[in-house]
Amino acid sequence: MSSLLISSTQIKLCLIDKYILGANTKSWIKEKRNYM
């Protein structure tokens, strides 16, 4: 039971990391376009 809870937490953290990385990448691309 505890291992299932840990794995679900890891999945949530992974999804959050991907979401944050995606948002940062989008803003970074916008900044790059502004420089060009």
**Which tens digit of pLDDT belongs to each residue from 1-36?**
578 888 899 999 989 998 888 888 888 878 888 876
CA 35 to chain centre: 25
Taking the chain, what is the end-to-end CA distance rounded to the nearest angstrom? 53
pTM metric for this prediction: 0.50
Q: What is the pLDDT of residue 36?
A: 64
Q: What is the pLDDT of residue 2?
A: 76
Q: What is the pLDDT of residue 12?
A: 93
